[in-house]
Structure 1
Amino acid sequence: MKAQQSMRFPDLRLAISASEKMPPEMFEHFYNLTGVELFDSIGSSEITYEWIANSPRAFKRGSLGKPVFGYTIRLIDAEGDDVVEPNVPGEAWVKSQTACFYYWRKYDKSRETFVGEWARTGDNLSFDEEGFFWFSGRNNDLFKVKGLWVSPIDIEASLTTHPAVREAAVVSFEDQDGLTKPRAFVVLRDGFSQSAQLVEELKAAVAPLGSYKIPESIRFIEQLPRTTLLKIDRKALRE
């Protein structure tokens, strides 16, 4: 099977992904199509390059990989302490020789982002027992429901396991009582249509994550709004 599929791309040896977090099944689909693993990574304009990446020597499907040589990574939790235990999310701070010094004509933003030798990325990550890093979401994408932090990435991954869902995005909204709840925007695959039964099935797919993560509202749309970098435009979804 792999050999036959690889013949479609005989010269393809390496594929690298960055910018937007992809659904877990996308990695398997890419491998089944090409016979080549898709190496995910993360970088930022302020750091210039990718600072965590998968490589042929250190690879785990779906993870961001491990720190690139020359880059030091620390995770800082909501209380300002270093994360020292696996599977605990925190904001990634990066120390390197490639980071910029400040933002042009943005003094306050520069002071907030660049702290001594460290650059705050705004990306929330966690690391597992083997030292591979996993993406949890952007700082401004996380929200609290019933006092508990919610990462849209987890809910979106559960929603896209349903065969009817092509892609999904989750943001927060305030219900009629002023309480923060998750709202999901779902793009369906061809041949599927929205229904009350489908809504219940999607909520059931999220239920194992915890009742507070089940979307209070599910809206079906034709396509997700994107930024100029083709990332999901969550700001547009909140409006």
Structure 2
Amino acid sequence: MSSLRSILSVGEPLNPEVIKWAKKVYGLTVLDTWWMTETGGHMIVNYPTMDVKLGSMGKPLPGIQAAIIDDAGNELPPNRMGNLAIKKGWPSMMYRIWKNPEKYKSYFIGDWYVSGDSAYKDEDGYFWFQGRVDDVIMTAGERVGPFEVESKLVEHEAVAEAGIIGKPDPVRGEIIKAFVALRKGYEPTDELKEEIRIFVKEGLSAHAAPREIEFKDKLPKTRSGKIMRRVLKAWELNLDAGDLSTME
């Protein structure tokens, strides 16, 4: 591995714990990036020359205009979660959907291509992925992205993997339920559940702390290692899990 010069990641963002591990093992900082098939290339990246904020996907490439907008197309201020959008006109931009022009139009609000990802931009211009729009949880009037909660969960010494979903609740709209796979040597007790819940509450906020925690031997993942939240939700709510051909 002595010839390894850089490591880049794409897809689901890496939890800070993974980036710390790679730095310790390989001596390199994993550079998280963001793009989609529809964008035709990278849009937001961590440059090797910039300070990396663990968990952030970085900043837009030169010439790319990215923003966080609301459902009306208005740009949101720093640290407000909303729709991750790219101003149309970039060189590799898709220009149509075959035989479905109306579908193509539905991806845009004005001049903004709306990615379907939820994110926020901090005061330094770094973008932070929070999950697909469908994965964002509305609990007691607060929007909670699954990624920040899952990242905090895996910081706990007992937690190997974690996935969260929004579970319908008559009072709060939704509550956060966490599915957790434990590291070897830890027993799945009620006391540990409460310890993990308090860990998230103190590390993030009260509304981001899971109200329910269920221990699992392993979590459903795609072959590329992404936790399949829709499968977790289907299990919990007795719904059809849909296509499972990509599940490992």
Maintained 8 Å contact 2:168/2:174 = yes
Q: Is the 8 A contact 2:120 2:129 kept in 1?
A: yes
Please report how far the alpha carbon of residue 116 of structure 1 lies from its aligned counterpart in structure 2 after TM superposition: 5.6
Alignment match, 1:75: 68
- What residue number does 2:246 align with? none
Residue 91 of structure 1 is aligned with which of 83, 87, 92? 83
Shift of 1:114: 3.6
- Once the two structures are superposed, residues 139-194 of structure 1 have per-residue CA deviations (whole angstroms, 9 ceiling, x without a partner) of 11112111111111221122111101011111011247784111101111122221
Q: 1:107 to 1:226 in 2, by over 3 A?
A: farther
Taking the aligned partners of 2:97 and 2:219, their CA distance within structure 1 comes to: 30
Mapping of residues 43-192 of structure 1, within 5 Å? 43-62=35-54, 63-78=56-71, 80-83=73-76, 85-94=77-86, 95=88, 96-115=90-109, 117-175=111-169, 179-192=173-186
CA contact (8 A) 2:164 2:176 kept: yes
SS in 2 for 1:211: coil
- Which one of 200, 215, 224 corresponds to residue 219 of structure 2? 224
Distance in 2, matches of 1:127 and 1:186, equals: 28
- Return structure 1 stretches of 4+ with deviation > 6 angstroms: none
With normalisation by structure 2, the TM-score equals: 0.85
Change (3 A) 1:48 1:58: same
* Preserved CA contact (<8 Å) 2:81 2:143: no
Partner residue of 2:11? 19
Aligned length: 230
RMSD over aligned Cα, in angstroms?
2.0
Return the alpha-carbon distance in structure 2 between the equivalents of residues 206 and 232 of structure 1. 19
Task: Determine helix, strand or coil for the equivalent of 1:235.
Answer: helix
Instruction: State percent identity of aligned pairs.
Output: 31
Secondary structure at 2:79 match in 1: coil
Q: Distance in 2 between matches of 1:173 and 1:105?
A: 37
SS in 1 for 2:20: helix
8 Å contact kept, 1:182–1:214: yes
Out of 105-114 and 70-79, give the one that drifted further.
105-114
Contact 1:53–1:68 (CA<8 Å) still a contact in 2? yes
SS of residue matched to 2:167? strand
Return the letter of the residue paired with 1:44.
Answer: M
**Structure 2 gap segments, 5+ residues each:** 235-248
Which stretch shows the higher mean deviation, 52-61 or 180-189?
52-61
